[in-house]
Amino acid sequence: MLAWVAGFDMIYACQDYDVDRQAGLHSVPVRLGIAGSLRLAAACHAATVALLAALPFVYPGLGRIYWAGIAAVALLLAYEHALVRPDDLTRVNKAFFQVNAVISLGLFAVGALDLMLGGR
């Protein structure tokens, strides 16, 4: 989950690029630029999906419902990145608050449901 949080935090931090640069801060957007930060955030989110997909191999109690949840998370993360572009950060709040809320609650729900039904 650290990769997921790091990814969406980088997206959110892009809004502060000018302030960070003027204040002499060494934030990820200042160091990599907005486009580079969004690429790194996408890499973090890809790692998140990979780690979520690895979990059933460590804990085999997760089944088809969980796998469907991972697919949904991957689609939602792709949508989140489609909302935000280096030249247009106007939808960062939608990406940050709405999409991530759906991901967190949805992943909890499918994981709990899958475990409750015995990984069917």
Given a cut of 80, whether residue 37 has pLDDT beyond it is yes
pLDDT at 119: 65
Cβ atoms of 106 and 73 closer than 8 Å: yes
pLDDT at 115: 87
If you average pLDDT over residues 53-79, what whole number do you get? 94
Say how many domains are in the chain.
Answer: 1
Distance CA 19, CA 11 (A): 15
pLDDT at 120: 60
Cβ atoms of 7 and 44 closer than 8 Å: yes
Hey, what amino acid is at 12?
A: Y
DSSP 69-98: HHHHHHHHHHHHHHH-BTTB-TTHHIIIII
- pTM equals 0.90
Distance CA 112, CA 101 (A): 17
> What are the tens digits of pLDDT across the range 71-115?
999 999 999 999 999 999 999 998 888 999 999 999 999 999 988
pLDDT at 1: 81
Q: How far is CA 7 from CA 3, 37, 88, in A?
A: 6, 9, 18
Torsion of CA 57, 60, 66, 71, to 10 degrees: 20
pLDDT at 14: 96
Note down the domain range covering 68: 2-116
* CATH number of domain containing 109: 1.20.120.1780
pLDDT at 118: 79
